[in-house]
Amino acid sequence: MTKILLVDDSALITSGLKIILESAADFQVVGICHEGDSAIQFCKENQVDIVLMDVRMPGMDGVTATKQITEEYQIPVIILTTFDEDRYIDEGIRNGASGYLLKTTPPEAVIQAIKSVLQGQTILSKEILVKATQHLDKKNNQEANLTVLTEREQEIAHLVAKGMTNKAIAQTLFLSEGTVHNNLSMILKKLNLDHRTQLAIYVLTGEVMT
C-alpha cells in the first residue's frame, strides 16, 4: 500500500485529492497538512512513501519544504499547484521535486505520475516542461549533442523531450518498459545528467538545467 501525504492549505483540494487517490486500490492517504512546517514534522514522525505538495501556503512554502523533505528523509515529492510561474518551476526542480503537475491535470494522470515517480522517474506536465524550456537563456542556445547515443537512445531521448512517460515510449517503440528504463539510465549516464527533466530540456534547448 502506497502511503501518501497531502500538503495544501485548501481543505477542499485535499478532500478531493483524498477521494481521487484512494479510488486507486493501492493508495492510502495517511496524512493531510496545510503548511510546510507541519509536513516536515509529519514526515519525521510517520512512514510516508510520497508527498503531494502545494506551493503557496501560510508559513513555510512548498518549495522550501520540498527541499528539506527530499534531503533529510529521501521521500519523493510531487509539486501539485495552480501556479505555473517560471520561478516556482525552477525552484521546484532545483530543490529536489520528482514531479511538477498543475492542479488541472486529470486525476488518472496524477495517479500515473505517482506510480512513475515511485519507479524512479521525474515527471513534469507538458505545460510545465514548455515553461521550463522557454525561460532558459536563449542567447547561447545550441543544438543538443546526442552523437554519443545510439540511434535507439536518440529516439528515446526525443520522446522524453515530448513529455512522454516510459510506458508511452514503450508502446510507441514496441519495447518493454524495462528496456526503456534501462536505455534511459544509459542515456543519462552518457550525457552526465541526473534525471529525465534535465534530458528533456537539454534535447529541446541544448542547455543543461543544474
As a whole number of Å, the CA-based R_g of the chain is: 17
Which 3 state secondary structure label does DSSP give 52? strand
This prediction has a pTM of 0.72
Choose between 195 and 187: higher pLDDT. Answer: 187
Per-residue pLDDT band at 199 (split at 50, 70, 90):
confident
Residue 194 has a pLDDT of 78
Residue 206 has a pLDDT of 79
| Domains detected in the chain | 2-134 (3.40.50.2300), 151-205 (1.10.10.10)
Helix (H) or strand (E) holding 208: none
Choose between 85 and 112: higher pLDDT. Answer: 112
The stretch 78-90 carries a mean pLDDT of 74
The stretch 145-163 carries a mean pLDDT of 90
CA distance 160 to 6: 28
Residue 139 has a pLDDT of 45
For the chain, the helix, strand and coil percentages under 3-state DSSP, each to the nearest 5: 50, 15, 35
CA distance 112 to 11: 23
